[in-house]
């Protein structure tokens, strides 16, 4: 009996080794080909360069007086920046909000220390119309906030839904104050 061919050490098979190498090489090349075919499909789902350029917007609110609303554009949507007077702020904070359709306190919708400024995406949450109430003379609805003329949704002075078909409050975009008068949206 030949000791070099014990059951624990089978004879070296050159053909099997070459076949394994070819199979692994072909599989690796197939994976590279599949990846290069799929990458353009995945990459086209990334936002376009012009969209990324609009990722943030800076707005100077230094000239905004109590009761005025400034409209800015962020990601193709209107953003209402409304400066509320101390009396308006006290009135909205004094209202009961726990039983609203989309309960949220006014304090949760503004940044602490900048309570006078309400920043909202100016789009109705029902079907995407632009609510009225951001310009002088426009109807503000039954709750002195915003009114959507498309289907009759009424929002209060904090952008919370009070009446109508809208399912939730007007959205608050991500924003921060860079200074006392400069807001970065996005």
Segment 50-69, tens digit of pLDDT:
666 667 888 889 888 888 88
Active-site positions?
Answer: 151
Does the predicted model carry a pTM greater than 0.75?
Answer: no
Domain residue ranges of the chain, discontinuous segments joined by +? 3-43, 51-185
> Which residues lie closer than 8 Å to 159 by C-beta, 6 or more apart?
80, 109, 118, 120, 145, 146, 169, 170, 172
Q: What is the pLDDT of residue 175?
A: 92
Q: Which CATH number fits domain 51-185: 1.10.1200.10, 1.10.8.10, 3.40.50.150, 2.102.10.10?
A: 2.102.10.10
Residue with the larger pLDDT of the pair 8 and 28: 28
pLDDT, one tens digit per residue, over 72-91 is 988 888 999 999 889 888 88
């Amino acid at each position: 009996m030949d000791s070099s061919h014990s059951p624990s050490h089978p004879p070296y098979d050159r053909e099997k080794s070459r076949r394994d190498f070819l199979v692994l090489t072909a599989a690796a090349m197939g994976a590279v080909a599949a990846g290069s075919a799929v990458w353009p499909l995945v990459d086209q789902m990334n936002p376009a360069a012009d969209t990324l350029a609009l990722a943030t917007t800076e707005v100077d609110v230094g000239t905004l007086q109590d009761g005025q609303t400034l409209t800015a554009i962020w990601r193709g949507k209107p953003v209402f920046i409304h400066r509320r007077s101390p009396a308006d702020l006290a009135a909205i904070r004094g209202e009961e909000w726990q039983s609203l359709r989309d309960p949220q306190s006014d304090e949760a919708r503004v940044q602490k220390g900048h309570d006078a400024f309400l920043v909202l995406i100016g789009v109705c949450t029902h079907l995407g119309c632009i609510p009225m109430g951001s310009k002088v003379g426009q109807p503000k609805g039954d709750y002195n906030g915003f009114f959507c003329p498309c289907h009759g949704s009424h929002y209060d002075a904090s952008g919370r839904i009070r009446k109508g078909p809208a399912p939730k409050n007007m959205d608050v975009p991500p924003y921060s104050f860079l200074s006392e008068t400069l807001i970065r949206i996005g």
